[in-house]
Amino acid sequence: MKKTLLVLAVLIMLNRVTNANLFDNFEDGDLTNNPTWSVTNPNIGAHSIVSDPFRSNNTSLQAIGTMTAHRCFVTPANTLTTGFYFEVEYAVSPFADEFNFILGLHGQNDSILETMIASTAPNSGHTGWLVAQNPSGGPEWIQQDPDYPQIPSQPLGEWWKIIFWNEPTTEIIAGEIRRVNDNSLVWSRTLSFPSISSNEYIKGVTLEIESTDLQYLDNVYLVPEPATLLLLGLGAAIARKRRR
């Protein structure tokens, strides 16, 4: 049974990579190919591809912004919002006082979903997790998501995986944050975005880093979800069969 589940996990990972509309683990050492990332504000902050400070034999994107502005990375995409699955890994220097990361999934004209992972105050020990559509600034983030969770932990010196997916038959978007090292759940959210059209496409992905403390990004995926759901269904069927 354990061997079957291990094979299933490998199949799911291979499915995500081979069917990904967007996949980048930054192992090629730059931002110029497969996919191509553009830095829209090169005068803000800095970035480089570095050896992963928390995992051996791995590289990641290291970036800083300023205390008031984000360094922004943009890449094109072409994935239907119906049934999409997105994940990105995020970590912060263990010596950081403040951090701020914004992920954006954008349509033809407006953002489909934006999420902010940020320290709630210097050395607070908490992480705010906000979600909005087309926020124009800090007050609008709060206005759109007034009950956002303040998570009683932070990604200091460890990788968190930020995940969003759309339930194909509903207007619900689910979100999770998990620790990469053991896949334990940090927090989860369920969101409703009625304004998302079933035939709308995610046309671009933005990754934005604010603060002068070092922050890291890795393993960016954007895939159609139904194929993964089929594999998960197959796994459940196998498990039921084994129990009989």
CA-nearest of 174, 181, 176 to 163 is 176
User: Which residues face 188 on adjacent strands?
Assistant: 176
Q: What is the pLDDT of residues 116-134, one digit of tens each?
A: 999 988 888 999 999 998 8
pLDDT band at 181 (very low <50, low <70, confident <90, very high): very high
Strands (E), the chain: 22-24, 38-39, 46-51, 59-64, 70-80, 84-92, 100-106, 111-119, 127-132, 150-151, 160-166, 172-179, 185-192, 201-210, 215-224
pLDDT band at 216 (very low <50, low <70, confident <90, very high): very high
Q: Which of 16-20, 164-168, 196-200 has the lowest mean pLDDT?
A: 16-20
Reply yes or no on whether the pLDDT at 219 is more than 50: yes
User: Which residues face 101 on adjacent strands?
Assistant: 117, 209
Q: Which fold has domain 22-225?
A: Jelly Rolls (2.60.120)
| Whole-number pLDDT of residue 133 | 86
CA-nearest of 68, 19, 82 to 231 is 19
Residue-by-residue DSSP string for 95-124: T-S--EEEEEEE-SSSEEEEEEEEESSTT-
Indicate the helix (H) or strand (E) that contains 244. Answer: none
| Whole-number pLDDT of residue 231 | 46
Phi, psi of 13 (to 5 degrees): -65, -45
| Whole-number pLDDT of residue 172 | 82
Q: What 3-state class would DSSP assign to 132?
A: strand
Phi, psi of 10 (to 5 degrees): -65, -40
| Whole-number pLDDT of residue 168 | 74
> Cβ distance 85 to 228 under 8 Å?
yes
Reply yes or no on whether the pLDDT at 53 is more than 50: yes
